[in-house]
Each structure stands twice: as structure tokens, then as C-alpha cells.
Amino acid sequence: MDVRLFYILLAFPLLLFPGCLGGGDDVSPSEEGPSISVDNWIAEVEASNASGTGEEAVEAGEDWAALALAENDPSYCLKLPASERDACVLPLSNDSLPNCLQLVSYELKEGCLEHLAYETENISICDLMVDEARALCVEALSPPCTFVLETEEKARCMAFEYQNYSYCRSDQCFLDYAFNFYNKEACAFIDSEPKMEGCTSALTYKDGCRELEGSNKELCYYIYALGDKTPRFCYYIDGKYDSEIAFECFTHYAIENGEPSLCSALLVTRQWECYTDYALESGDKGGCYAIDTRAPTSREDCFEQYAYAYDDLLACNEIETLYVRQICYSALIFGSGDLSFAECNGITLPEWKDKCFQELAKQEDTLTYCNYIKSQAVKDNCIAFFYQ
């Protein structure tokens, strides 16, 4: 066959059907919905929405946290970055232990667990916490007095918890209960006669102690004074106020009422001890100053004990015996770790003032305090510390 005739026959179908090879209109799908035409009437058909689920909607740009809250489903929160998950889970955790456990921050998780444990009174939730938080949770949700092991203390705890003195197993428990709840019936169960009479006298305002004698009478008035909550019956104990019970009574109210002057009612041999106890218990150094300077040993002992008890460097200044004062300075300067400019500047012995400023400079990590040192050798040593 002639070659030219072959190509003519091959091209002939292409000329008849030019649209079949894609050379006409663009046939790519339209973004608009399709339309249906019947006799020149056109019905527009809306395009179907493929985002039918909440998850697909979120993928289209919605908020995972909002969806988690709307559907009460914390699993959506896991799709968020770790730094954002807690903020998503937290609103869902107040009444759900599984949700609570999904919190990343232990601080938030602990607060959530604590809330659930107390809200549901479920002590087993406490075991999901650690250390002190767990211990406090267990203690709070355990039956009253569970952790009080000593027999008499447990009985006292139960008596006060349930306001029933029948739990008491000792005179002290009955006495404390009677005074705490103003219950005179509890006094009758006290075995000790003077304590029972003192208890009854305080709650009935009738003096039953006067019928007793000797030490029983003194103890009765002491109990009477405790129940009366005033020191007036301390003066009924004995004429000289030199007994141990008188000392206990006046010292108690000196501390309780903040009145060191009550110590002066005691015989002088017991006054200094009363003032010392007052100073140590109340934190009022005035108790030590109240001790007569003619009793230097008692006075020094008071200031020394006070200095150690309250980390009070300036209390050492009041100690007259030099080596005792130096020991006091040394203990507090090198042992306290909490010095101040006022304390160092108030020291009366120059060499110890220098040592104090040197130590203060080290504690505060500044050589400024070295400039307050008088001794050149100590000052040089202080400054050299910062150039090592």
C-alpha cells in the first residue's frame, strides 16, 4: 500500500471525533455542586459535607479541647501537644479518677486526687499520692484516733472526739475532760481525792479544798486554780509559797497570762527558776532581766539558755563570766548560719565582733562586711577569702 494513503486513513477518525482526545472543554471536577436539567429547569444540588464526625471537623480546623469538653472524652486531649494536655484534661477530672490520672503535672494530679479522695471519702485514692500528701490524706480519712497508739492517749482522744468521758482511763483524762467541756460529772470518776475535790470546786464554785489537810490541800487548790483559770487560788496553797505545788501554780500562770511578776509571790529561792521558765517558754527575755543581779549564776544561766533556745546572739552579752560569754558567741556565730548586721554590731567584745562580721561576709557572700572589721589582720583575711 502507498505510505501516503496509510497515513490518510489513520488520520481520518481523528478528524471525525476531535473531542475524544481531550482537546475541548476542561473536564476536571467543579468545586460547585452538580446541577440537574430537565426541560430547561435547573435544580442545584448541594455538595455533600464529608466532615461528618467531630474528629474530622477538628482536622478541618476546630479545637480538640473544645471537642473533648463537649463530648466529655479526654482521649481527644491526647492529640494535643504535651504542654497543652493538662489544660484540656483538667476540666474533665473533678469527678473522674481515670481522667484525673491522665494529668501530666503531679501537682495538678495530687490536687485532683485529694479532691476526689475527700469528696468520695475513699481512702484507697490516697495510695495514688506520695510522701506527705499521702500520709495526710490517709490520716484525714481514717477513723478518729487511728494513729494514736499509746493506750491512755488513745482513750483521751476518743473521749474528746466523741465527747464522752467514759472512754477515759486516767485521772488526768477525766480532769482534762471536765475542764474542757465544763462537765462536773466527770470529776466524780477521778480516783485522787484532792484532784477530785479541786475539779468539783472549780466547776461548782464551792470550795471543797478547805476541808483537806497538808499536801492534799495544796494539790486541791492547785487543781482549783487550774479549773478557775486564774492564779487567785495559787495564793491559797501555803503561807510561804515555797512548795513545789506553789511553784508549779505561779509559774503556770506567769507563762499562761504573760505575767512574770507572778513569780515574785514565790519564796526567793524559787523565784529565779520561775523567771527562767517564763523566759524560755514565752520567748520574753524580760524574764531573765527580772532575776536579781545579786543572783549572778541564775541570771547568767537564764541568758545562756535563752540565747541557745532562741538563737539570740545579743543575749550572750548579758553573761558576765567571760569564758562562758565567749563560748556563747562562738556557738551562735559559727553554728547559727543566720547572722545579721545588727547582731554582729551589737556584740560587746571587739574580737568577737570582728569574727562575727567576717562570718557574716561569708554567709552573705559579700566583702562589704569586711570593712566593719577593726583588726587589720582579720580584715585582710576576710578580704582574701573573696580572692582565692
Looking at the structure of the chain, the number of domains it has is 3
Identify whether residues 113 and 162 lie together within a single domain: no
Q: For position 21, what pLDDT does the model report?
A: 47
**What is the distance between the alpha carbons of residues 154 and 167, in angstroms, rounded to a whole number?**
9
Name the phi and psi angles at 36, rounded to 5: -120, 130
Tell me, yes or no, whether 69 and 91 share the same domain.
yes
Which residue pairs, CB below 8 angstroms and at least 24 apart, start in 63-69?
64/88, 68/92
Helix, strand, or coil (residue 215): helix
Q: How far apart are CA 109 and CA 97, in angstroms?
A: 10
- Inside any domain, residue 217: no
Q: What is the pLDDT of residues 117-149, one digit of tens each?
A: 888 888 888 888 888 888 888 888 888 888 888
Give yes or no for a contact between 88 and 80, defined as CB atoms under 8 angstroms apart. yes
pLDDT for residue 95: 79
pLDDT digits (tens, 9 = 90+) for 286-309: 999 999 999 999 999 999 999 999
Angle, helices 322-335/296-310, rounded to nearest 10 degrees: 0
Task: Tell me: do 321 and 387 sit in the same domain.
Answer: yes
Q: Are residues 137 and 152 in the same domain?
A: no
Residue 219 has a CB neighbour count (10 Å cut-off) of: 22
Kindly state the DSSP code that residue 372 receives in the 8-state scheme: G
Query: Do 65 and 137 lie in a common domain?
Result: yes
Do 104 and 175 belong to one domain? Answer: no
- Spatial separation of the C-alpha atoms in residues 160 and 167, rounded to whole Å: 9
State whether the Cα torsion 185-186-192-197 is positive or negative. Answer: negative
pLDDT at 72: 83
* Cβ contact 47:32 at 8 Å: yes
Q: Which range of residues forms the domain containing residue 175? A: 148-191
175 and 121 assigned to the same domain:
no
pLDDT of residue 27: 43
Asked if residue 27 belongs to a domain, the reply is no
Single out the residue in 105, 123, 141 at which a domain terminates: 141
Instruction: Report CA Rg, the chain.
Output: 44
Do residue 152 and residue 83 come from a single domain?
no
Q: Is residue 358 part of a domain?
A: yes
Residues with pLDDT less than 70, the chain: 1-62
Cβ neighbour number for residue 26 with a 10 Å cutoff: 6
276 inside domain: no
Looking at the structure, do residues 76 and 123 belong to the same domain, yes or no? yes
Task: Answer whether residue 369 is part of any domain.
Answer: yes
Q: What is the pLDDT of residue 62?
A: 52
Q: Is 36 among the domain residues? A: no
